[in-house]
Structure 1
Amino acid sequence: MPGQWKHSVRGKLLALILLPILLTFAALIGLTAYWTTTYSDRQLYMKVASDLAVARSTLQMMQDRQLERLEQLSHTLQLHPYLINNDRLALNQIIDDLRQKQQFDFLRLLTPEQLQQDLDSQPSIAQLKEKILAGNSLKGLSLIDADELLTLSPTLAEKVKVPVLDTPHAKPSDKTLETRGMFVRTLQPIFDNTGQLRYVLDGGVLLNHNLQFVDTIRDLVYGQDALPEGGLGTVTLFLDDVRVTTNVPAQHQQQPGQQEFDRAIGTRISAEVYKRVVDEERVWLDRAFVVNDWFISAYEPIYSLNDNLIGVLYAGFSESPFIYMYRRNLAELGITLGLIMLLSGYFVWHSAYRLLSPIKRIHRSVMAVRRGNTHARIGTLKAENEFADLAQQFDSMLDELDARQDTIRQSAERLEQKVEQRTLSLQQKTQELEQHIELLKATRAELFTKEKLAVLGELTAGIAHEINNPAAVILGHMDLLQAELGEGCLVQSEIDTVIEQVYRIRAIINNLLQYSRPGQVIDQMQTLDVNAVVQDTLALVHYALNKKGIRVRKDYTSVCSVEGNRQQVQQVLVNLLLNAANAMPCQGNIWLSTHPWQAEDGARGVEISVRDEGSGMTDEVQARIFEPFFTTRENGNGLGLSISRSLARRYGGDIRVSSAPGKGSQFSVYLREKAQLNQEDEETMRQLLSGFGVA
C-alpha cells in the first residue's frame, strides 16, 4: 500500500499540492523558533541582569544602612558623659550592648593609638590606615582571615568556617575548608567638641552563612508570579569561588513555596564562570551550570575596601521551565500546522479520487495483463472524454496482441520439440566423447609408465644376472673356507659378516627385480606385513638417499596386515621417498612412519606417512600434483604421483597430501586390511597391459 501510494498519480498530485504548503509551514516553524529563541534569550538575559543589579543595590543598601547606624551611634556617643570622662570600661559595656541590639557580629571602639598599634596585626584594614586616621568614614566589604578573627571575637573563627564540597564542572582544587570570613564592614570616626579624633567605631556583619541576606534579595526579585511554574530563583555570595551563603538547593529537591531545604553552601563556582569573572574580572550574562542544573545566570566580581577582588555576586533562575514553555509552544504550533496539513490532504485526496478514477481502471487492467491475465479488459467508461477513447484503443490492442501471442505460442512449441530432440542426441554424443577422452588419458599415462618399466626391467635383469653369479661364487668359497677352518675359528665373525652382506645384496637384487616387473604380478594379491614392506623398500632407495646426505627417521607401530601387491606398494613408496628427497635442496631428514587407520565405512587399515622438511607447496600446486604430466621439476615427467594414487585407489585406499610453503610436505598412503578392488581401474590396467603383450 505505501508503495502504490508513492507511485500513483493521485499520490504525486497530493505531494505537488502539499509540498509548497509543507515548506511554508516548515519555514514558519523555523522562523518562529528562531524569533522565539532570540527574543526569549534577550528577555531572559535582560531580566537576570536586572536581578543582579537589584542584588548589587541590596548589598550596597546594606552597607549604607550600616554606615547610618554607626553615624547615629557616633553622634550619640560624642555627647555621652563616659566619652567625655574617658571612662573606657563603661564605654566598652555600652558598645557591647549596642552590638547585640544592632545585630552586629562585631563592634568595637578604638582609639587612634590602638589603631596605630593594631594595624600591623589587622591586614584587612592596614592599607586604609591614612584614611582612618584622617577621620574619614569607610564602608564596604572586608575579607578577614582566621588569625585576625581571633583578635576580634573567638566565636567568629568557628562561625565563619565553610566546608568546601566537590562540585560538578568546578575546576580541580585541594581546598577542603574555608576559614576566612566576608563582612559588611563600616569604620566611623568619633570627634570631641574641639573636632579632634577621639575614637573610631569599627563594626561588621558576617555574610558567611547569612541566609537572611540572600533570602531577602530572592524574595524581592523572585516574588510571586515572577517566574513560571516550577521556576527557581536564586542568589549567591561567593568568597573567591566558594559559596558562603546561598539559596541554591544542594539537590533537585526544592519545590515552589518550600522554605526548608538543603542549601549548596560550600559548593564551588563552575570553571568556565571562574575564568571569566575571577580571572578576567568581567561580568557573566549567560546560561551556566549551577551545582546540579542549568540556570540563566548573572555573575559579577565584588571588591573589598582595599579594592581587592574577594568574591563574586550571583543572581539567576532555573532554565528548565523556560525550555519547557519553549518546547510546548513549538509542539502546539506543530500540532496545529499538522492538523491543517491533514485536513488539506484529505480534501485533495478525496477530490483527486473522483478526477482520476478512470485512470485507475485503466491502470488496473494494464497490471492484470502484465501479471498474465490476457483476458482482462477495461470496458466502457461512463465519462465521454479522452480517457474513454484511450480505453477503447487499449482494449483493441489487447485483442490483437492475444491473436499474435497464440500464433507465436504454437510456433514456439514446435521449435521446442525440435530443440529437445537435437539436444538429446548431442548429449549422448558428448557423453561418449568424454568417456573416450578419459580412457585415452588413462591409457596414455599407463603406456608411458610401462615403457619406462620395461626398459628398467631389461636393464635390471641383466644387472641382477651379472651380480648373482659372483655372489654365488662368493658364498661357495665362503662355505669352503669355513669348512677348512672349522667352527669357532678366529675369523668366524668376519666370515659371518661377509655371508650376511652377500645375502643382503641378493635381497636387494630380488626386490629390484620385483619392482621392475609390476605387470607380471598385477593379479597376485598377497597378505602384506606393512612394516616389512616399508623396510625392504628403504633398501631400494638407500643409496640415493645417502648420496644426498638424507637421513630417514623411522617410526613403525604395531599395525594389521593388508591385502595388495607387494611390488606395487613398493613402487608407490619408492616414488614418495624419492620425491621427498628431491624436495630438499641439501641434507635433511625424512620421517617414515606407520599407524593404524580406520576407513569411513569402519574398515581397518594402515596409514603410511612420508614427511619431509623441504620447501613445501602452495594450495594451487597441491590441487594439481595428482594430474598426469603436471610437474614442478625440470627433469620430471609428472606421472609418478598420478600412477601412485591410481595404484593405491585400486585396492580401495588413497593418497593424501598436507603441505604449506616453507614448512615441508607430508604424503599419507592409506591401505585396507581387506582390499576392495576398483573394477574400473582393474579393467583399465588390463587393457594397458594387453597392449604390452602381458596376459
Structure 2
Amino acid sequence: MRTSIRLKILGLTLTPVILILVTLIGMTSYWASTYSADQLYRKVRADLSVAKGILAIRQQQDLSTLKQLSQHQVLQQVPLLDPMAQQQWLSIYQLLDAYKQIHQLDFVRLIPVSEVAHYILEESSLAKVASNIVHGEAKAGLQLISPQEMSAIAPELIPQMQIELQNTPRAMPTQKRIETRGLFIRTLHPVQVDGKVVAILDTGRLLNRNNAFVDQIRDLVYQAGTLPEGGIGTVTLFLDDTRISTNVPRDFNDTDVQSEQGEFTRALGTRVSHDVNKKVLQKGESWVDRAFVVNQWYISAYDPIEDFSGKRIGMLYTGFLEQPYTDIYHKTLIELIGAIAVVTFISSILVLRSAGLVIHPLKRIHSVVQAVKLGRRQRIGMMENHDEFSELAEQFDLMLDLLEERNRQIQQAAEVLEQKVQERTQSLQDKTQELQEHIHLLQDTRAQLVTKEKLAVLGELTAGIAHEINNPAAVILGNIDLLQAILGQDSQPVEEEIELIVQQVYRIRSLINNLLQYSRPSEYTQAMASININPVVEETLVLVRHTLEKQAMQVKLHLNAQQQVEANVQQLQQVLVNLIMNAANATEGAGLIEIETGDWVEKGCIEGVFIRVLDQGEGITETALPHIFDPFFTTRDNGTGLGLSVSYGIIRRYGGDIQVSSILGQGSTFTVYLRTKAELTNSDEATTQQLLATLGEVQRG
C-alpha cells in the first residue's frame, strides 16, 4: 500500500495493541456468554425444582387435610347409617361441601365400600386405584379424567376442562382440534372404623384453566428482583403437549405483560415445540435449554409428569424471557468496545505526535529524491541529528555523485550504439522487403502452375465425358423421334412423358456443353441471359413432379419477384432441383414445401431477387450446419455430398449467395440471392471448382 511513513509507523505501533484488544474482546465475550448461559440454565433448573416441590407439597397438603377429614366424628357414624335415612346423610353432605369450599377443591365425594364396584364400572380412572384404597392405602397424585367419567362425578366441570387447540409455530402437526380431558390433582383416602374400611373419600383439584395455581407457583419462584428489568417469569402445566394452565402471554407486545400487572391473554391451547415434545414427552428426559415458547425465545426447563400408574401424561414448565439477558450482554459488549475504541484513539494521537522525530529526516531525504527524479541537481547535505539518518544522508549524496558520472558515460555509449543500430536496422528492412517480394512471386507462380495442371486434367476428362455421353443422348433422341413417327396419333396419351424425356436429354447435353465451356473459361459468359425467375421455378416443379407425388409432398408457391436477373436457366434449374429434392428427402412421409420469391432489397436499393425454399423436415444439427456446402459432405447414406456444393459454386460464380438457417426438429430454410447484373468470377481457381462441382452433378445424375 502506498501510504505515508507516519501512517505506517502508526500501523506498526497499533497493530499489536489492536490484536491484543480484539483478543481480549473475543475472550471476554466468550467467557461472558458461556458463564451467563451456564448461570441461566442453573437458575431455570432450580426454578423447575421449586415448581415441582410446590406441586408435590400441594398434593401432600390435600392428602393431609383429607386424612383429617376421614377421622371426623360424623364420618365415623357411616356404618350405623341407614342408606334410606336422608336426614342423617344430609349432615355428611354438608360436611363435605364445607370441606370443598374451605380448601377450594373442585369435587369432594364419599363412596361407601358397598358401592365401589358400581363406581368402578363407570369410572376407569377410579378402577386403577380403588383396590389399593379399599385395602387401607391412601393416594395423592395427578390423574386424567375423561368427560364421560366427569359427567358422573361433577358434570359442571366439563366446560372448564375443554380447551381449544391453537396453531403454534414449531409444534408437531396434529389433527386434534380440542382437548376435552381434565388434569386433576386427585386425592383418595379410606374412611376406617375400628380398623375396617367402610368408605372412600375422593377429592379432585382441576388444573385446566387453573390460573390461580400457576400464578401462585410463579409468584413463589420469580419473586420481585429475581429477574432483570423487562424480564417475564412463567410457569405452565401441559396435558400431553398442550398448555392447559399457563401465564405465558399469547401476545408478547401486551403492555400488561410487560408491566406484570393486570390480566392478559394467556397462551391456553398452544402447544410445545417439536424438539421439546420429542425429548420430554417421547423420551421422558428433562429439557434445560433455550426454547421457542409460543412466539419468543425463553430460557426453559421442562420435566415430564406422570399419573398414579407411572404413565407420562404431560409436562411441568418453568422459564423466563431470554431477551433482557441478551440486551444486557449486548450492552456490556458495546460498552467494552467503546472503551477500547477511545483508548485506541488516544493512543493513535500520541503515536502520531511522537512520530515527528522520525518523519522529519525522512521527509528531507524524500524531497531530494523527488528533485533528482525531476532532473534537478540537489543534495541532502549535513543533518543536525547524529544518528542512522545522518549516515544515510551522507551515503545517499555519495551515491548520487557516482550515479551522475555513470549516467554521463552511459549516455555517450548509447549515442554510439544507437547510430550502429539504425544502420543495421535499415539494412535488415531492405533485405526483408526484397525477400517478401520473392515469396509473393513464388506463391503466385506455384498457384498458377497448380491451377493450370488441374485445368489440363479436367479438360481432358471433360472431353472424354462429352464424347461418351453425347453419343447415347443422340441415340435416345433418335429413337424417341422414331417412336413418335411409328405410333403417330397413338402417342398422344404419353405425349407429356415423351416431351419430358426429350427435355431431360437436352438438359444432359446442356450439362455436357457446360463442362466443355468450363474447360474454356473465356467462352463461359455466352450462356448467360436476363430471365424472370418465377417461370423458371414453375418449370422446375414439372421436372420433380413425379418424385414429389410419389412421396405425397405438397408444394406451396409465393412468387412475388418483379426484378429480372442475369443467369443460366439450366444451371439455375439445377440449383432449384437440388434444393427441392433435399427438402423432400429431409421430410419423412408426406409434408409441405414452400417456395417464395421476391425482390432482394439491401440498404434501400434493389440488388436482385431471392428464392427461398422452406421445409418442415428434421432440420440440420449445429455440428453439420457449417459443412453442408463442402464437397462430398453428406448426412444421408445414399448421398454423394455434391448437390449443395455444386449449387453453391454456381450461385457464387454469378456473384450471388446461398444462406441457410435450420431449427432441429422443425425444418430448414435455404435462401438464394441472385443479382440483377451477374458479377461473374473468371479466375482459373473458380473455374476449376465449378468444373469439379459440375462433374459431381453429372456423376450423381
Question: In the aligned structure 2, how far is the partner of 1:651 from the partner of 1:571?
Answer: 11
After TM superposition, the structure 1 stretch with the greater mean CA deviation from structure 2, 652-661 or 373-382, is 652-661
The amino acid across from 1:106 in the alignment is F
| Structure 2 residue matching 1:4: 3-state secondary structure | coil
Question: In the aligned structure 2, how far is the partner of 1:494 from the partner of 1:269?
Answer: 98
Question: In the aligned structure 2, how far is the partner of 1:59 from the partner of 1:361?
Answer: 85
| 1:235 to 2:235 alignment | yes
1:143 maps to 144
The amino acid across from 1:209 in the alignment is R
| 1:244 to 2:240 alignment | no
2:20 maps to 24
Contact 1:442/1:684 (CA < 8 Å) preserved in 2? no
Deviations 1:121-142, CA, capped at 9 Å, x for gaps: 3333323334423444433333
Residues 1:511 and 1:555: Cα distance change in structure 2 (over 3 Å)? farther
Alpha-carbon shift at residue 388 of structure 1 (Å): 1.2
Residues 1:610 and 1:136: Cα distance change in structure 2 (over 3 Å)? closer
1:224 maps to 224
1:108 maps to 109
| Structure 2 residue matching 1:603: 3-state secondary structure | strand
Contact 1:576/1:667 (CA < 8 Å) preserved in 2? no
Describe how 1:603-622 pairs up with structure 2 within 5 A. Answer: 603-607=606-610
Contact 1:78/1:190 (CA < 8 Å) preserved in 2? no
| Structure 2 residue matching 1:598: 3-state secondary structure | strand
Alpha-carbon shift at residue 286 of structure 1 (Å): 2.1
Residues 1:46 and 1:364: Cα distance change in structure 2 (over 3 Å)? same
Residues 1:553 and 1:443: Cα distance change in structure 2 (over 3 Å)? farther
Question: In the aligned structure 1, how far is the partner of 2:356 from the partner of 2:508?
Answer: 103
1:297 maps to 300
Correspondence for 2:391 among 386, 393, 405: 386
The amino acid across from 2:247 in the alignment is N
2:284 maps to 281
Question: In the aligned structure 2, how far is the partner of 1:499 from the partner of 1:234?
Answer: 110
- Uncovered stretches (5+) of structure 1, i.e. residues with no partner: 483-487, 686-695
Contact 2:611/2:673 (CA < 8 Å) preserved in 1? yes
Describe how 1:464-503 pairs up with structure 2 within 5 A. Answer: none
1:187 maps to 188
Alpha-carbon shift at residue 249 of structure 1 (Å): 0.8
| Structure 2 residue matching 1:167: 3-state secondary structure | coil
Question: In the aligned structure 2, how far is the partner of 1:656 from the partner of 1:156?
Answer: 92
Question: In the aligned structure 1, how far is the partner of 2:671 from the partner of 2:30?
Answer: 81
Question: In the aligned structure 1, how far is the partner of 2:644 from the partner of 2:429?
Answer: 38
1:55 maps to 51
State the Cα RMSD in Å.
5.6
Contact 1:358/1:387 (CA < 8 Å) preserved in 2? no
Correspondence for 1:399 among 404, 421, 432: 404
Contact 2:560/2:599 (CA < 8 Å) preserved in 1? no
Residues 1:534 and 1:418: Cα distance change in structure 2 (over 3 Å)? farther
Residues 1:572 and 1:181: Cα distance change in structure 2 (over 3 Å)? closer
Question: In the aligned structure 1, how far is the partner of 2:323 from the partner of 2:338?
Answer: 22
Residues 1:295 and 1:526: Cα distance change in structure 2 (over 3 Å)? closer
| Structure 2 residue matching 1:267: 3-state secondary structure | coil
Question: In the aligned structure 1, how far is the partner of 2:223 from the partner of 2:573?
Answer: 106
1:44 maps to 40
Deviations 1:350-396, CA, capped at 9 Å, x for gaps: 43343144335545665787xx7344856446445123124313433
Residues 1:118 and 1:565: Cα distance change in structure 2 (over 3 Å)? closer
Question: In the aligned structure 1, how far is the partner of 2:419 from the partner of 2:506?
Answer: 78
2:173 maps to 172
Contact 2:658/2:673 (CA < 8 Å) preserved in 1? yes
Residues 1:616 and 1:244: Cα distance change in structure 2 (over 3 Å)? closer
Question: In the aligned structure 1, how far is the partner of 2:628 from the partner of 2:618?
Answer: 18
The amino acid across from 2:307 in the alignment is S
| Structure 1 residue matching 2:261: 3-state secondary structure | coil
Contact 1:109/1:199 (CA < 8 Å) preserved in 2? yes
Deviations 1:82-113, CA, capped at 9 Å, x for gaps: 99766113322343344234422111233222
Alpha-carbon shift at residue 146 of structure 1 (Å): 1.5
After TM superposition, the structure 1 stretch with the greater mean CA deviation from structure 2, 280-289 or 208-217, is 280-289
| Structure 2 residue matching 1:355: 3-state secondary structure | helix
Contact 1:594/1:606 (CA < 8 Å) preserved in 2? no
TM-score of the aligned structures, taking structure 1 as reference length: 0.74
| Structure 1 residue matching 2:602: 3-state secondary structure | coil
Question: In the aligned structure 1, how far is the partner of 2:125 from the partner of 2:492?
Answer: 122
The amino acid across from 1:48 in the alignment is V
Question: In the aligned structure 2, how far is the partner of 1:236 from the partner of 1:676?
Answer: 98
The amino acid across from 1:304 in the alignment is D
Deviations 1:383-427, CA, capped at 9 Å, x for gaps: 451231243134335534653565477567657865885687578
Contact 1:603/1:672 (CA < 8 Å) preserved in 2? no
| Structure 1 residue matching 2:268: 3-state secondary structure | coil
Residues 1:160 and 1:421: Cα distance change in structure 2 (over 3 Å)? same
Residues 1:434 and 1:174: Cα distance change in structure 2 (over 3 Å)? same
2:350 maps to 347
Question: In the aligned structure 1, how far is the partner of 2:427 from the partner of 2:539?
Answer: 56
TM-score of the aligned structures, taking structure 2 as reference length: 0.73
After TM superposition, the structure 1 stretch with the greater mean CA deviation from structure 2, 662-671 or 68-77, is 662-671
Residues 1:73 and 1:622: Cα distance change in structure 2 (over 3 Å)? closer
1:689 maps to none
| Structure 2 residue matching 1:175: 3-state secondary structure | coil
Residues 1:374 and 1:649: Cα distance change in structure 2 (over 3 Å)? farther
2:85 maps to none
Deviations 1:662-692, CA, capped at 9 Å, x for gaps: 99999866432134577x969999xxxxxxx
Residues 1:411 and 1:114: Cα distance change in structure 2 (over 3 Å)? farther
Alpha-carbon shift at residue 318 of structure 1 (Å): 1.3
The amino acid across from 2:159 in the alignment is E
Residues 1:123 and 1:572: Cα distance change in structure 2 (over 3 Å)? closer
Question: In the aligned structure 1, how far is the partner of 2:620 from the partner of 2:137?
Answer: 105
Correspondence for 2:323 among 311, 320, 323: 320
- Uncovered stretches (5+) of structure 2, i.e. residues with no partner: 83-87, 635-640, 688-701
Residues 1:351 and 1:76: Cα distance change in structure 2 (over 3 Å)? same
Deviations 1:235-291, CA, capped at 9 Å, x for gaps: 111222221111011122331323211111122222322333333333322222222
Count of equivalent residues: 654
Describe how 1:637-652 pairs up with structure 2 within 5 A. Answer: 652=655
After TM superposition, the structure 1 stretch with the greater mean CA deviation from structure 2, 41-50 or 275-284, is 275-284
2:269 maps to 266
Contact 1:239/1:311 (CA < 8 Å) preserved in 2? yes
Question: In the aligned structure 2, how far is the partner of 1:261 from the partner of 1:498?
Answer: 105
The amino acid across from 1:36 in the alignment is A
Residues 1:535 and 1:464: Cα distance change in structure 2 (over 3 Å)? farther
| Structure 2 residue matching 1:225: 3-state secondary structure | coil
Contact 1:622/1:657 (CA < 8 Å) preserved in 2? no
| 1:336 to 2:339 alignment | yes
| 1:133 to 2:134 alignment | yes
Residues 1:181 and 1:392: Cα distance change in structure 2 (over 3 Å)? same
Deviations 1:491-543, CA, capped at 9 Å, x for gaps: 786999999788986786577446524445356585333659979999xx99x
Residues 1:325 and 1:610: Cα distance change in structure 2 (over 3 Å)? closer
Alpha-carbon shift at residue 35 of structure 1 (Å): 2.4
Contact 1:142/1:185 (CA < 8 Å) preserved in 2? yes
Residues 1:651 and 1:436: Cα distance change in structure 2 (over 3 Å)? farther
Residues 1:390 and 1:232: Cα distance change in structure 2 (over 3 Å)? farther
| 1:451 to 2:456 alignment | yes
After TM superposition, the structure 1 stretch with the greater mean CA deviation from structure 2, 553-562 or 141-150, is 553-562
% of aligned pairs identical?
A: 33
2:2 maps to 4
Question: In the aligned structure 2, how far is the partner of 1:119 from the partner of 1:4?
Answer: 94
Question: In the aligned structure 2, how far is the partner of 1:520 from the partner of 1:175?
Answer: 100
Contact 1:18/1:345 (CA < 8 Å) preserved in 2? yes
